[in-house]
Structure 1
């Protein structure tokens, strides 16, 4: 193998080649649903702009999918800069589209598309893609194979002058996906959500048999979208009067937000039954929430707290939190923003800072007014919130009583293991319910217990032991462990210790590192005996998976997991040395534990024979280690933290 590093060593990926080389950076690779959703989103944006009235998705008998709308149709003239038909630019150029011009009067003032990579990614990962555009009195058609033009744009026939629309037919390329099948229930959920968010727009799903005949069809139309949907989800659990629908958008004269920015929402309070919480930004579903949900949460909390304070309803000694107010709230939130920022191309979580201020500003004042106009409902909402606060505070005081009685009431989310041998038993603290679900399915049920953690735990560095149980996640960890919090110079009772190892399992990103630090702070500060004994570990999930196709009869298909970029390069170098054709392999990047299925999680992170663990052990609870923790976690050390970051910040690589 040549070790020469010269000018010719640098390779530039052009056109759609980056998508084919790293599909996991642009879309989900478990199945083709997301690349089809990109096409549906374009049709939905036409409806959002007020031009499309019908969106139809057809699953063809040959495995292809077509998406058709009656919107304006993609422009077919020659692009002034690229010199090729504009429709070709849309499907073959990354970062090209009509959604960058967000000013009033642009083609799409509000849309989910930001980066212009959506349908070009669909094109790159498809065996064939055909697009038919009707506009300006003609029907135009072109086709692509693997992202390349194979049938140039041509006028097929004439059409009525007012007729317009776009139809895109996609044959997904199975080599880029774990499964070539589109999950029908997930597709229906996507289409139903579009209908909910586009009142009056008909969204159709047609399914063909192998002969091309329609064997099943469904249609969704919601005249009163959000309200109808939430009522159908909560059904008999709704309480009369505790249902609030509102929308508010910024006028042209607004000082802070652009004209038309704002939100529509429906909120319901229930005493029991399911909790439904769904959010959207410019029709894009955000299942992981984000800053717009945080804005709704803040707006509702501040309005309810203001009402409670104004009427002096809060009992003495009770402190209200946002979790208390939100404990029995269901909502559907649809936000409109000119330039939303998401985490990743799959757009599962909104990260725009302005969204928090936008939704908070739109929600708080209308809710305060509604509460004061509906006194009976307002008092019930106040009662729900105060009751939740009292329950939370009692729960924080109950742990000593439970332990003194000799009976440990284990957390409901804990999936315990079955072995009675302490040294075999392991407790995994897993970031997020999604990854927790995969871990529960992939674990060894005899020796491995799983406790999912929701969100980030409390920073316990400056909290006394009797105060940390107010945090529900820490309460659950302590009860599951069977050990009381203690100081470094204490001799704690370890007779009830339930696990030999506590393993922190978080995403390999900034948020995951933050969660690791918070949990390590908890153990170092309040469970030092576990640190001394080397019973606290940090799992190291891989960032990459490399799939190598079969090479003849004697070399079956293989897959490798790589911890980081360095390991990835080493693996690729070994493959080259093994005479594997350059580029024959596929490299996928895991964006988080939630992307791993149970088998992958077992193979990489749970299996004791294959996983990698960092074991934390120290006897230093008064010297250098304590000083580092204090600098990182103490509120009073903010200035020294900032000085340290300014001095050493260049040593950290940016998390992209």
Structure 2
């Protein structure tokens, strides 16, 4: 569909002067409040202090919403620019990309180190204000110039008095509320900004006056004799660092081949259990979103710490430190000086200068490493925090979850499941070995009995971290088959997914079988305690002996009896003898394991609810603590000496099938 609107040469519009700022203010500054346009004026005063020309910064928040910023620096030049033939103060407030911060050649710049880069600073402030008054004390005279209507109306420069040898600049700004979501200057943000300037500018007095509705003035002043260290301590409140704070500074000299004279950083580092927010600055500009200078600081800290840890052989085997391990609990205040900083956007919230990484890391690493080696106890305390973090990180990375497909846990391939979904009737037999598992599959009732063969011995799970539990294939398969997640004794786990009402441990009636039984009971007591507490765990009692009794006439056919142990075997012998059988007439066989039983024998002795013997597993009432102690003694890795003493004391009371 053709448009009737013309698109020709006359369609193009050229925005001149400060018009682009008023058309698209969000491209040049924050528009949530006037805080950033006021910050531009404060930054100019701070740049004078950074250069060593100002000792005072005085800000006033007026009752009418305007803000005055005054300093005792050199004063903005008021003479004509040699090329533009316009007063320099007018250029600063009306031209984008004009200022005293572009000529960065050493010795030629009015501001060797400044926050300004794009040169749009106070010009943006002017564009988004209804009025600005500038008063300059310079060369013995007080000069005055006013701007109005977003910089469109420019007054004449006039001399309004004498100032003797004093110098400085005073700027009063009336931000235009229509450009901001909230037209009010945020007092808290201005306070934070001014406090940070006091921290970063040693010897500079920073003052804020707030005009009150009743006519008085509330005054706040900031002074940090200890500089960055005092500021970080104040931020930490009552919290003590794990090691003394490390505060230092280092700047490049004239002979430095890599960096310009004066580039470098000042910093304070502290490690806390609960770190306080880190702060960073570039040429006094707060970089709230961080940037490359913070990356450099972390890199320098990590390299120094890594060298210290390796030198003192502090890292446990298998633990590899990463930067986040060392820096995760670190709090810092960093003040970097760069000759020509590159920021992300005019708001200057993030530093992009690539050389800042190398600059800050290079300046910080050696002093920090020297400090660590001169304060070995402090270094070891920091290293301990880092190693603890690395250990936790590696454990976390090794967390194992149930294998899933389409969001559903995949049942183990070796599980022979039952057909019924009635949890009260369903049973699962955890069977030792594949051969016994084969017999059990043929002996089971497919409707209600499931079989899970276990290959070999299950891992001793007494001291296994819950997050690593499922790394063991056998334990993973047991958990998935049961449909229950591992849990602790004092938790309330979700047992709604439990797939079987009875979990029957079925192992051989020998020493190895008893060991497997113990390992499985350890697993359930430690990681699935609610299954024991609610009566879901059982131990099968397979017989150790088979007794074949011959027929006795037509009315008494041949019989097969089973004995659980030596005591039952002796009782059977006595009974058969009373029935008139000679000892040599009966045949006694010993089962080496479940795999030797044929399916009929296994069903009759161990699986058929009518004839089997299974023992429910419970913790005796009031004996939880004692049970816990006994498990720790018998299954704990560090309890070898205690186990030996226990066996020497109790060994004669233990029945052992050898």
TM range (shorter): 0.5 to 0.7
Query: Contact 1:289–1:348 at 8 Å: present in 2 too?
Result: yes
Would the aligned equivalents of 1:67 and 1:168 in 2 still touch at CA under 8 Å?
yes
Residue 316 of structure 2 corresponds to residue 312 of structure 1: no
1:517-573: per-residue Cα shift (whole Å, max 9, x none)?
Answer: xxxxxxxxxxxxxxxxxxxxxxxxxxxxxxxxxxxxxxxxxxxxxxxxxxxxxxxxx
SS of the residue corresponding to residue 342 of structure 2 reads coil
Secondary structure of 1:237's match?
A: coil
Worse-superposed segment, 319-328 or 236-245: 236-245
Cα gap change, 1:349 to 1:262, in 2 (>3 Å): same
5+ long unaligned stretches in structure 2: 408-466, 471-484, 486-495, 498-658
Distance in structure 1 (CA, Å) of the matches to 2:87 and 2:44:
18
Instruction: Return the offset for 1:85.
Output: 1.1
Q: Which residue of 1 aligns with 2:360?
A: 359
Which residue number in structure 1 is paired with residue 452 of structure 2? none
Matched, 1:125 2:128: yes
Q: Secondary structure at the match of 2:157?
A: strand
The question of whether the paired residues in 1 share the 8 Å contact of 2:285 and 2:348 is answered with yes
Task: Report deviation, 1:187.
Answer: 1.1
Question: 1:7 & 1:182 partners in 2: Cα distance?
Answer: 43
Conserved? CA contact 2:140–2:165, under 8 Å: yes
Q: Tell me which of 208, 214, 217 is aligned to 1:215.
A: 217
Aligned to 1:541: none
Deviations 1:31-72 (A, max 9, x none): 111100000000000000111111111111111111111110
Shift of 1:396: 2.2
Does structure 1 conserve the Cα–Cα contact (< 8 Å) formed by 2:30 and 2:36? yes
Question: Is residue 2:391 matched to residue 1:376?
Answer: no
Residue 310 of structure 1 deviates from its aligned partner by 2.1
Contact 1:85 1:153 in 2 (8 A): no
Q: CA deviation at 1:210?
A: 4.6
1:394 matched to 2:427: no
| Residue equivalent to 2:343 | 342
Equivalent position SS for 1:192: helix
CA contact (8 A) 1:143 1:149 kept: no
Tell me if structure 1 keeps the 8 A contact 2:145–2:158: no
Calculate the TM-score normalised by the size of structure 1. Answer: 0.60
Q: Which of 255, 263, 269 is residue 261 of structure 1 equivalent to?
A: 263
Whether the aligned pair in 1 keeps the contact of 2:271 and 2:331 (CA below 8 Å) is yes
For structure 1, the residue ranges without an aligned partner over 5 or more in a row are 407-465, 470-483, 485-494, 497-656
Shift of 1:367: 1.2
Conserved 8 A contact 1:206-1:214 = no
Distance 1:385 1:274, change over 3 A: closer
CA distance in structure 1 between the aligned counterparts of 2:206 and 2:119, rounded to whole angstroms = 24
1:122 shift after superposition: 0.2
CA distance in 2, matches of 1:284, 1:399: 46
Instruction: Name the stretch that deviates more: 18-27 or 161-170.
Output: 161-170
CA distance in 1, matches of 2:135, 2:241: 49
Q: Distance in 2 between matches of 1:183 and 1:399?
A: 49
- 1:56-95 correspondence runs (5 A): 56-95=58-97
C-alpha distance in structure 2 between counterparts of 1:320 and 1:218, whole Å: 45
Partners in 1 of 2:257 and 2:275 — Cα distance? Answer: 39
Alignment of 1:494-509 (within 5 A): none
How far 1:384 moved relative to its partner? 1.2
For 2:403 and 2:184, how far apart are their aligned partners in 1? 50
Q: Any idea what SS the aligned residue of 2:398 has?
A: helix
Question: Deviations for 1:566-622, whole angstroms, at most 9, x for unmatched residues?
Answer: xxxxxxxxxxxxxxxxxxxxxxxxxxxxxxxxxxxxxxxxxxxxxxxxxxxxxxxxx
Residue 3 (structure 2) pairs with residue 14 (structure 1)? no
Q: State the alpha-carbon separation in 1 of the partners of residues 298 and 382 from structure 2.
A: 14
CA distance in structure 2 between the aligned counterparts of 1:401 and 1:327, rounded to whole angstroms: 30
SS of 1:52's partner is coil
Does 1:321 pair with 2:322? yes
Secondary structure of the structure 1 residue equivalent to 2:225: coil
2:235 is matched with which residue: 233, 236, 239? 233
After superposition, the CA RMSD in angstroms is 2.5
Q: In the superposition, relative to structure 1, how do residues 320 and 274 fare at CA in structure 2: closer, same or farther (>3 Å)?
A: closer
Partner SS, residue 237 of structure 2: helix
Q: What is the aligned partner in structure 2 of residue 273 from structure 1? A: 274
Larger-Rg structure: 2
1:420-441, Cα deviation, whole Å (9 max, x unpaired): xxxxxxxxxxxxxxxxxxxxxx
Return the offset for 1:2.
Answer: 4.4
The counterpart of 1:201, out of the listed 204, 209, 213, is 204
**Counterpart residue number, 1:293:** 294
Q: 1:151 to 1:89 in 2, by over 3 A?
A: closer
Distance 1:148 1:288, change over 3 A: closer
Give the C-alpha shift of residue 258 in structure 1.
Answer: 0.4
2:576 corresponds to: none
Q: Could you tell me how far 1:151 is from its partner in structure 2?
A: 5.4
Partner of 1:30: 32
Tell me the distance in 1 between the aligned counterparts of 2:64 and 2:319: 63
Per-residue deviation, residues 258-303 of structure 1 (Å, max 9, x unmatched): 0000000000112x23433100000000011000000000000011
Once the two structures are TM-superposed, the CA of residue 308 in structure 1 deviates from its matched residue by: 1.2
Moved over 4 A (4+): none
- Identify if the C-alpha distance between structure 1 residues 382 and 148 changes in structure 2 by more than 3 Å, giving closer, same or farther: closer
Per-residue deviation at 1:399? 4.8
Q: How many residues align?
A: 409
Query: Aligned equivalents of 1:388 and 1:362: distance in 2?
Result: 26
Q: Give the Å deviation of 1:241.
A: 4.2
Q: Which of 97, 100, 116 is 2:99 aligned to?
A: 97
CA contact (8 A) 1:134 1:164 kept: yes
| TM-fit CA distance, 1:381 | 1.4
Whether 1:171 and 2:201 are equivalent positions in the alignment is no
What does 1:505-654 align with in structure 2 at a 5 Å threshold?
Answer: none
Is 1:155 aligned with 2:170? no
Note if 1:333 corresponds to 2:346.
no
CA shift at 1:113, angstroms? 0.3
**Aligned-partner SS, 1:236:** coil
Structure 2: distance between partners of 1:402 and 1:290: 40
Tell me the CA shift for residue 224 of structure 1: 2.3
CA displacement, residues 104-126 of structure 1 (integer Å, 9 cap, x when unaligned): 22210000001110100000000
Whole-angstrom CA distance in 2 between matches of 1:59 and 1:198: 22
Quote the Cα distance in structure 1 between the aligned partners of 2:188 and 2:324.
32
Q: CA offset at residue 243 of structure 1?
A: 1.1
Kept in 2: contact 1:15–1:94 (CA 8 A)? yes
Deviations 1:205-255 (A, max 9, x none): 1111357x4431101122222111001111332236431011000010001
Q: Which residue of 2 aligns with 1:146?
A: 149
